[in-house]
Amino acid sequence: MNKLLVLCGLSASLLLAGCQSVNTTSGGAVGVERKQYMFSMLSSEEVNQMYAQSYTKTVGEATNKGVLDKTSSDAKRVQVIADRLIAQAPNFRPDAAQWKWEVNLIKSDELNANCGPGGKIFVYTGLIDSLKLTDDELAAVMGHEIAHALREHGREAMSKAYGMEMAKQGAGALLGLGQDSLALADAVANYGMTLPNSRSNENEADLIGLELAARAGYNPNAAITLWNKMSKASEGAPPEFLSTHPSSSSRTASLQAAIPKVMPLYNSAKK
């Protein structure tokens, strides 16, 4: 049984702001159907607002350091691929059409990419250069990142941390919650952004990312070559990307099994 669900059950009678089953995305051709539970008091809007501060800071710092790349051919490439993927996001959740998507390429040796809550994408040049990513592979990694945001894995992790914190504090503390909830929110915000994704979250991001890329006309087989390159790169020092997106031996098998499901989408997108 889902740990958070147990926590929700334990705390349900105490919490006015309860735990709800949330449908972030539809299952798609790849069939991602896991039920998600989140505290309703931690809404998507609140998470987006919390994240907005760190996002603005990161972009500001990159601008000041002169590492925000808006003009190179890679910057244009990343933008084009992002636009094509983003156009497919409403297939999984219609509200993504109204998200304020932003795409940034950062000049850095880091082998990394991420997509924060609400569609704030970062790609680091190190990832493209070191792994010599093709457009299809770049679409695979960006699709994976976008999928984390669509599934709101950050909010889910924060919600889980929230629940555990509440369970620790007990009923007495909960009665005075209103005032403290912001401080609590700040504390749990870290959980959503910095911890490694769980294996099930990784699998969901792989599958939805695979379908986004296929629908956008990028060859889904590139997901396999991408992860092969990634694991080869990890033979030295593991790339930053793998610390938040742990790989597992089952990853390529699961992707391989899903490719036939998205091939028809890729073939019709190419026409």
Q: Are 166 and 230 in contact (CB under 8 A)?
A: no
Q: If binding is defined by CB under 5 A, does position 107 make contact with Zn ion?
A: no
Phi and psi angles of residue 122, each rounded to the nearest 5 degrees, phi first = -125, 135
Residue from 50, 82, 205, 230 binding Zn ion (CB under 5 A): 205
| HSE-up (13 A, CA, CB side) for residue 150 | 33
Alpha-carbon dihedral sign for residues 95, 100, 105, 109: negative
Nearer Cβ to Zn ion (101/241): 241
Q: If binding is defined by CB under 5 A, does position 245 make contact with Zn ion?
A: yes
Nearer Cβ to Zn ion (41/115): 115
In whole angstroms, the minimum distance from the beta carbon of 240 to Zn ion comes to 12
Alpha-carbon dihedral sign for residues 81, 86, 88, 92: positive
Torsion of CA 12, 13, 15, 20, to 10 degrees: 30
Residue identified by tokens 């080869």 is 232
The region of 23-31, 120-128, 161-169, 191-199 touching Zn ion under the rule CB under 5 A is 191-199
The region of 109-117, 160-168, 181-189, 201-209 touching Zn ion under the rule CB under 5 A is 201-209
In whole angstroms, the minimum distance from the beta carbon of 90 to Zn ion comes to 21
The region of 56-64, 202-210, 227-235, 248-256 touching Zn ion under the rule CB under 5 A is 202-210
Nearer Cβ to Zn ion (185/255): 255
In whole angstroms, the minimum distance from the beta carbon of 63 to Zn ion comes to 26
Nearer Cβ to Zn ion (7/78): 78
x/- map, 146-175, Zn ion, by CB under 5 A: ------------------------------
What span, in angstroms and rounded, lies between the C-alpha atoms of 220 and 82? 16
In whole angstroms, the minimum distance from the beta carbon of 196 to Zn ion comes to 9
Tokens for 12?
A: 């349900």
Catalytic (active-site) positions:
145
For strand 19-22 and strand 120-124, is the pairing parallel, antiparallel, or unpaired?
A: unpaired
In whole angstroms, the minimum distance from the beta carbon of 192 to Zn ion comes to 13
What span, in angstroms and rounded, lies between the C-alpha atoms of 173 and 146? 37
The region of 25-33, 106-114, 158-166, 245-253 touching Zn ion under the rule CB under 5 A is 245-253
What span, in angstroms and rounded, lies between the C-alpha atoms of 10 and 168? 12
Q: Are 247 and 227 in contact (CB under 8 A)?
A: yes
Nearer Cβ to Zn ion (229/245): 245
Give the interface size with Zn ion as a residue count (CB under 5 A): 4
Spatial CB neighbours of 17, under 8 Å, sequence gap ≥ 6 = 39, 40, 41, 177
The residues binding Zn ion (CB under 5 A) are 197, 202, 205, 245
